[in-house]
Amino acid sequence: MEQNTKQKREIRTPSLAQSVIVLLSLVFFVSIGYGVFKLELQVMLLCTAAFTAFMAMYLGMDWQTIESAISQRIIKVMPAVYIMFTVGALIATFIYSGTIPMLIYYGLQIISPQFLIPCSFFICAILATATGTGWGSAGTAGVALIGIAMGLEIPLAPVAAAIVAGSTFGDKLSPLSDTTNMAALSAGTDLYAHVRSMLWTTIPAAIVTVIAYTIYGLRFGGDFVMPENVSSMLSALDQIYNWNLLLLVPFVIILIGSLLKKPTLPVMYISIAVAVALGMIFQGFTLGSGLTAFVSGFKITMVPGMDAATTNANVLTLIQRGGLTSMSNIILTIFCAYSFAGIAEEAGFMEKIIDSVIGKVKSRGATVTAAVCTAIVLTIIGVSGYISLIMTGELFRKPYLKQRMDLCNLSRTCEDGGTMICSIVPFSTSGLFYAGALGVPVLSYLPWHFMAFICPVLAIIYGFTGIGIKMISQEEADAKLKELGFHAD
C-alpha cells in the first residue's frame, strides 16, 4: 500500500502545453489520418490513445494505472452501449413488423408541387425519426424526392437542403439514432432527458425552416405526376407488407414511455416484443425470422417468394438493416475513443485544459457559447461528428455543473454544434454522403439549410437568457461533480 501511494505521488501534473499536445494528437490522427488518407477511424483513435499513454508514462504513470483508467472509463459507458445494441434490434423488428415501412409508404404519397420542399422536410424527418438514421432517410426517400424535383423542374438546392434538414432533424431527435445516444452518453445524461432538452432548439428551428420552405415553394405549381422510381418503391412495399393502423403501436409505446419518463430499456424491449408479434400476425412472418432480425437485421429473404435480385434496390436499402450486430462499428468507435478519454482524464490532461482554458469562462452564457464553438470547431477539424460529440461532452461536464446546469443542456449543445453542423461541412462524413447521395454539392444546399445555423444561435441565446435551461441545485451539482471525479470548487 505504501509503495502504491509513493508511486502515485511521483506522477507529475501535466503542463498546459503537454495537455494541448495530447489534444492536438487527436486532431492530427483523425483529421489527417482519417479525413485525408481515409484510414480507419478506430485505428486512428487507438493511435491517439497510444500517444496519450506514452505522454502519461512520461509523467510517471505506470501501465497498470493506464489499463485501469481505460477499463473504468469503458465500464461507465456500458449502460449506454447496451441501449445502443437494443436500438439496433429495435430498428430491425420495427421493419419486420412493417411499422417503419408503413410510414415510408404513406409519406411518399402526400406530395404536391407547391409543397414539395416542406414535404421533403417532413417525409425525411419522419423517416429519420422512425429509423434513427438520417443517412438512410436521405439515401432512399431523399433520392426519390430529388427525382420528383427534377421531373417538376424545381431547383434542387432547396429540395436537397430540406431533405438534409429533415434527415438531420430526425437523426437528432430519434431515440434510435447513434448520435442521439452518443451525445447523451458523452454528456452523462439520460437518453430521454436529452431528447426532451433538444426540443427547445430543434422545434423552433424546424418551424422557422418549414415556414421559409413553404413560402418559397408556393411559386411552383402545375400538375403532379408520380415518378416511376417512387411508384416502383410503393409497389414493392405493397408486395412485401400488409398495412394496418395497429402497426403504429410499437411507436406509440416508445412515445408514451418517453413522456412518462419510464426506464429506457424495458420500454424498448416491450416495443420489440409487440413489433415481433405484429410481424407474425399481419405479415405472416415466423418467430424464427423475428429472432434472426433481432440479432442480425431484417433480410428480404424472410419474405416468402422474395429475393434481393427481383426487389427494388431503394426498398432493399431501406429495409435490409438493423439488428444487434449493426451497432458493432459505432460501439467499437466508442470503445476506441474512450480508451483515449480514459487515459487523458486519469493523467490530468483533460482537467488541465478545462481549468486553464475553459475554466476561465465564468458565466452561464459564456460557458454555453464556448461549448457551442468547441463543438463546431471539433466537427470541422475532426471530420466526423462522433469526435465532436464525445470530446465536447468530456470537456464541458465540469464547466456546466459549476454553472449548476443539468447535463442534458450539455448533451443538447453537443448536437446543436455537432450533429447539425456536420451536415454542412463539405469534407465531413455527413457532407460527403449527402452530396454524393443527392447529387447536390454541400455548398449549393448550405445556404438553404437554415436549421444548421438556427440551432447553434438558439443554444447561445438560451445560455444568456436562461430560456430552456434546466438548472439544478448546488448540492446536486456538487454530488455530480464528485461522482465524475471532479473537485466541486
User: What pLDDT does residue 446 have?
Assistant: 93
Percent of the chain with pLDDT over 90: 39
Residues 6+ apart with CB under 8 A from 1: none
Per-residue pLDDT tens over the stretch 102-154: 877 887 777 777 888 999 999 899 888 877 778 767 866 787 788 678 766 78
Average pLDDT, the chain: 85
> Cell for 119?
414535404
10 or 21, higher pLDDT: 21
Distances (CA, A) of 175 to 80, 171, 215, 428: 12, 9, 31, 23
> Cell for 157?
438546392
User: What pLDDT does residue 439 have?
Assistant: 82
User: Could you give the CA distance from residue 441 to residue 265 in angstroms, rounded to a whole number?
Assistant: 39
Per-residue pLDDT tens over the stretch 439-463: 888 889 999 999 999 999 999 999 9
79 or 269, higher pLDDT: 269
User: What pLDDT does residue 5 have?
Assistant: 46
User: What pLDDT does residue 2 have?
Assistant: 45
Provide the 10 A C-beta neighbour count for residue 455: 29
The span from the first CA to the last CA of the chain, in angstroms, equals 29
Per-residue pLDDT tens over the stretch 350-397: 778 777 767 677 789 999 999 999 889 888 776 567 778 888 888 898
Average of per-residue pLDDT across 161-187: 89
Provide the 10 A C-beta neighbour count for residue 120: 32
Q: How confident is the model at residue 176 (pLDDT cuts 50, 70, 90)?
A: confident
Per-residue pLDDT tens over the stretch 390-422: 888 888 988 899 999 999 999 999 999 988 898
Residues 6+ apart with CB under 8 A from 438: 138, 142, 143, 146, 156, 160, 163, 164, 445
Q: Is 319 in contact with 300 (CB distance < 8 Å)? A: yes
Per-residue pLDDT tens over the stretch 260-311: 777 778 888 999 999 999 999 999 999 999 999 999 999 999 998 888 888 8
pLDDT > 70? residue 6: no
Provide the 10 A C-beta neighbour count for residue 61: 22
User: What pLDDT does residue 223 have?
Assistant: 63
pTM of the model: 0.74
User: What pLDDT does residue 4 have?
Assistant: 47
Provide the 10 A C-beta neighbour count for residue 360: 11
CA dihedral for 228, 231, 235, 236, sign (positive or negative): positive
Residue 222 DSSP code: S
Give strand pairing partners of 405: 471
